[in-house]
Amino acid sequence: MKLDLKNVNLENLKDYEERALDAFDTLINKSGKGNDFLGWIDRPVNYDKEEFERIKKAAEKIRANSDVLVSIGIGGSYLGIKAVDVACDSYFNSNRKTQIIYAGNQISGQYMVELLDYLKDKDYSLNVISKSGTTTEPAIAFRFLKEAIEEKYGKDGARERIFATTDRAKGALKDLATKEGYETFVVPDDIGGRFSVISAVGLLPLAVAGIDIDEFMAGFADGREKYTLKSMENDAIKYAAVRNMLHESGKDIEVLVNYEPKLKYVAEWWKQLYGESEGKDGKGIFPASVNNTTDLHSVGQMIQDGKRNLFETVIEVENVDKDIKIKTDADNLDGLNYLAGKKMSFVNKQAMEGTAMAHVEGNVPNIRIKLDKVNERTLAELFYFFEIAVGVSGYMLGVNPFDQPGVEAYKKAMFKLLGKPGY
């Protein structure tokens, strides 16, 4: 993975280097606000090896007896998993033994009814992911799914098919798991939800999906080796500095761009990471995303000619696994014969380059992050890069990058409207 800043004016970057390096020190030395939630920094080399092996065994068990694993979680207990799951799967012909279906990430009654109906003729297991067990969305989903799985297999059979990823020692879900005898895995105390895909939160469902979690962890280790060095040659520090430089020049929105649909949910994970980490105290760079070239035909006009308060970060995949050449057509009614003999990846690349040229000319700075290819190892390195960068960037902004106090505001209002006791 490498950072390309050729489409950004860097003449003022030196003014931000000292701040960026100081913020990096604060992060790595764990001397700033939120330092109780920095376990992810050394997690790639300092993780529970015994639990890691239990995760593999549980995944084998689920793959052997289940057509479907329902992964029940929201936010950090959902987005990182789905990002890797979608990015590493085939678009149409999945060869996975066990399908991963997601629940508890919204409160749609129609979704739940259709999910329960879909599962009736399937063998399935549940992985409920919640530190407390009381988060509204996954708690509601688990109530329905627990009832359904117990009706299907009986309480004893269901016990063998329910896996709880939760607090090590306390909480409603931990208490229920102990009472019912579910196998449990740990949501670490020192890793916040949006950083937790490196823990059992992400590793169990990804292992069930067929992701090589040894390679996944190796990718995080690659990231740790590259992005924990104090130097402006460290791309994570440089990215954080450039973001803050652009922000202070009036660029308040960052648009994460991909040209490969597999990366759609990487952007969703990224939006949570940056939105929850930076959006507080009246500060922050608003995280948005587009999927190109699709969205060039929707919000492309806004990016090109709208208010000049945004910049782009483009994830470029340099090598795709599969490709196809455009053939000559005798009639050429579509006028595409000038592309004959060229691969679709070439056309896509030129679309990306042309878009960058147009946007930069239209005063939209264009950061480029180049991935050699998309797999579990490169994605893990990308995740670690973004995580280090958001810690540095958040401290540069003057906020605590590791809390999310504003998340509770909607819950309080919702609970009051629902008549929850105490609200």
**Mind telling me the catalytic residues?**
276, 411
Taking the C-alpha atoms of residue 70 and residue 123, their distance in angstroms, rounded to an integer, is 11
Q: Which tokens go with 330?
A: 């005798």
Q: What are phi and psi of 257, to 5 degrees?
A: -120, 140
The DSSP call for residue 370 is: E
